[in-house]
Structure 1
Amino acid sequence: MDFQQLVARELQSHVETIAQVQATLSADIQKAAEMVTQTIIGGCKILLFGNGGSAADAQHIAAEFTGRFVKERRGLPAIALTTDTSALTAIGNDYGYDRVFERQVEALARPGDLLIGITTSGNSPNVLLALAKGRAMGCQTLALTGKDGGKASQTADLNIVVPSQVTARIQEMHILIGHILCAAVDEIA
């Protein structure tokens, strides 16, 4: 195996995806930054969730808000709904895995909060149910997706659809977008 070619190919694919995101999603990312900053200014919280790598991204972004991103500032209210194993397993056992985030949204969200659902396909049932529950409760909803955006395009107030079919590239862009949202918060906090 020629790892030099593999590395060059993967890096080039990443660069091309960033260029597509910059060309097509800058306005949507700006809208998302406004959603996040207005949530914080309004004294509300951010709830994040997803599955697998998207769960890790939800936790990573929440930690940047509650800890710090770059600027030293007060901790900000953000919760990853992917971390409480007792809640996840109890809800999954009693209600089914599709409802693991929806029940937590029902319990923890309040009108004005922002829900960020992360799903590379845009079709994860548990993410879609949580976004729908949040909208019904008066929360703002933001989806980070890829591919064709999936059903999240009908469920979220704003769906940022990374223009890629490759899960790795989509996830890389999700964390980049998450970091941009954190940078926006650093500007106002």
Structure 2
Amino acid sequence: MDSQTTSGSSLHGCLTAAIDVLRHTMDSLDPARVEAAVDAVATALGANKALLVCGNGGSASDAQHITGELVGRFLKERRGLKAICLSSNAAVLTAWSNDYSYDSVFARQTEAYGEPGGVLLGISTSGNSRNVIAAFEVAKRLGMTTIAMTGEGGGKLAGMSDVLLDVPSRSTPLIQQVHICLYHYLCEQVEARLA
């Protein structure tokens, strides 16, 4: 499969491309890395430490989705969990970006909300989003665990991540489709441990 192909010219082609990248992910992504992400998030949230999540564009929506599942509920009735989306506060995003730089907008919020023992989950299909990279730099200084969800190879985030969850594709839509599967699994497993 050409990793740049998302759908071909038909619904069948679109679904086949999604299935192919899911299969390739099952074959190449070490389950131990996924379990390490689950452990880090469950440990932090279980100790009432914050999970911070950020991304741009579609990955910003994914960041909102993840925190919505954890603050609210995924499958089980339980207490709300301290998950904060750094991609959704329009006042912070626009004020900081206007006065300073969009490249540092997640770093500033990581400085505000991050703490030792917490987790920063950054989503970037390229692995090279400058604002996510800057947030990882702050998280490292604060003693937080860093988890990156990316495309193939992880880009610059690969070397900055305690846990790298990279989807073996260069197609943004296909990477995002697998990211949904990965973070739904993450939410399910974290909730099962903490419910």
Same fold by TM-score greater than 0.5: yes
Corresponding position of 2:91:
86
Structure 1 counterpart of 2:17, from 13, 18, 33: 13
Question: 1:188 & 1:118 partners in 2: Cα distance?
Answer: 23
- Output one character per residue of 1:29-74: Cα deviation in whole Å (capped at 9) or x when no partner: 1111111111122221100000000000000000000000011111
Residue 4 (structure 1) shift:
10
Question: In structure 2, how many angstroms separate the alpha carbons of the residues matched to 1:138 and 1:128?
Answer: 15
> C-alpha distance in 2, partners of 1:55/1:170?
14
Q: Aligned to 1:42, which of 28, 47, 68?
A: 47
How many Å apart are 1:27 and its aligned residue? 2.2
Q: Which residue number corresponds to residue 3 of structure 2?
A: none
Structure 1 position 170, deviation (Å): 0.4
Structure 1: gaps of 5 or more residues: none
1:5 Cα deviation from its structure 2 partner = 5.8
Tell me the secondary structure at the aligned position of residue 69 of structure 2: helix
CA-CA distance at 1:126 after TM superposition: 0.1
- Please say if residues 50 and 113 of structure 2, whose CA atoms lie closer than 8 Å, have aligned partners that are also in contact: no
3-state SS of paired residue (1:72): coil
Distance 1:4 1:38 in 2: 42
Distance in 2 separating the partners of 1:8 and 1:172? 16
- The residue that corresponds to 2:26 in the other structure is 22
Distance 2:15 2:57 in 1: 23
Alignment equivalent of 1:99, drawn from 104, 119, 139? 104
Instruction: Name which of 114, 121, 141 aligns with 1:109.
Output: 114
Find runs of 4+ consecutive structure 1 residues off by over 4 angstroms: none
In structure 2, distance between residues paired with 1:50 and 1:29: 19
- In the alignment, which of 177, 182, 193 is matched to residue 188 of structure 1? 193
Q: Residue 132 of structure 1 contacts residue 156 of structure 1 at CA under 8 Å; is this kept in 2?
A: no
SS in 2 for 1:118: strand
Question: What is the CA–CA distance in structure 2 between the aligned matches of 1:101 and 1:183, rounded to whole Å?
Answer: 26
Question: TM-score, normalization: structure 1?
Answer: 0.95
For structure 2, list consecutive stretches of 5 or more residues without a partner in the other structure: 1-6
- Following superposition, the deviation at residue 156 of structure 1 comes to 1.5
The aligned residue for residue 177 of structure 2 is 172
Q: Considering only aligned residues, what root-mean-square deviation do their CA atoms show, in Å? A: 1.4
1:95 to partner: Cα distance: 1.6
Q: Distance in 1 between matches of 2:36 and 2:149?
A: 13
Alignment deviations for residues 134-158 of structure 1 (CA, whole Å, 9 cap, x no partner): 0111111000000331000111211
Q: Counterpart of 2:81 in structure 1: which amino acid?
A: L
Q: Partner amino acid for 1:124?
A: S
Q: Percent identity?
A: 42
Aligned partner of 1:43: which letter? N
Q: Secondary structure in 1 aligned to 2:177? A: helix
Matches within 5 A, 1:31-70: 31-70=36-75
Could you tell me how far apart the structure 2 residues matched to 1:146 and 1:153 are?
10
